[in-house]
Amino acid sequence: MIFLGYLRGCAQCTSATDEFTIIRGLALQQNNRQVVWITGASSGIGAALAKTYSHKGAKLLLTARNSQNLELTRASLSAPELAEIYPADVTIREDMSHLMDKFDSLGSFPDTIILNAGTYKPMSVADFSSGSIREIMDLNFHSVALAIELLLPRLKSRGTGHIAVVSSLAADKGFPFAGAYSASKCALVRLCESLQVELLDLGIYLSVVQPGFVSTPLTAKNKFPMPFMIGADDAASLIFKKLQKKHLSIRFPWQMSWIMRVISCLPESLALKVNRWMAK
């Protein structure tokens, strides 16, 4: 009887130990879960990235100006319960400072930040407007600079973090009707290039993502041929894989990347002929 009681006690002890192990494992899983903040998450590449990271089990913090579209993005995720929406205008300091305070209060500040919010507006000589250029620069460039300014003290104190800035292959060359867009995306590349070395010494990665033509509501505005276009989901999958490997420069698709590198190295006379052909 004493022996049977001993076995029964051991069984209960083992069961309790197993339960503790499961609970501890779930807690560790939660603690080790990647926390990702994505701006411009209501459509296009941002929404596709949210789906990709959700499928991989990340906790998501999603930002855009349109809260209804953010809700639609969250509803489309494989794990919507692990996503929180934070509507904000990324060009407004007060909105962004408020977001940083909210993230601080979460107890799990984002370790991966994807600054994806941006816009595109074709502009010809006929409708040239410095005001429109300022609006594009505010969203595409200045909002990123603002986010980095607010993020750096927090990431430096942690000694770790990964920021990904979404630029474009259009940064390589100024093409007809895309001057403001190309200028804003080129400014992003140069800014990030200038910061990368210092940030690496602090344990912070700063990646520059330069897509070619991706099927999104923005590229739907274009009236010209868009070679080597890929879907938003394919773009998000590629970006995810490269960021997981800590690539500092992510350019795709490779065919368009090489074409843009060649065009950017052409003599001015030949580059002008290319621009004339594109303007037709």
Catalytic residues: 181
Question: Cα 165 to the chain's mean position, in Å?
Answer: 6
Per-residue b or e along 14-49, where b marks 16 or more CB atoms closer than 10 Å to that residue's CB: eeeeeeeeeeeeeeeeeeeebbbbbbbbbbbbbbbb
What's the rounded Cα separation, in Å, for the pair 223 and 251?
23
CA angle 164, 166, 170 (to 5 degrees): 145
Q: Where are the beta strands (DSSP E) in the chain?
A: 35-39, 59-63, 83-85, 112-115, 161-166, 204-211, 214-215, 230-231, 249-252
In order, the DSSP letters of 138-196 are: IIIIIHHHHHHHHHHHHHHHHT-EEEEEE--GGGGS--TT-HHHHHHHHHHHHHHHHHH
Q: Which residues contact 58 (CB under 8 A, 6 or more apart)?
A: 33, 34, 35, 36, 82, 112
What's the rounded Cα separation, in Å, for the pair 110 and 100?
10
Cis, bond preceding 253 (omega within 30 deg of 0): yes
The answer to whether the beta carbons of residues 112 and 34 sit under 8 Å apart is yes
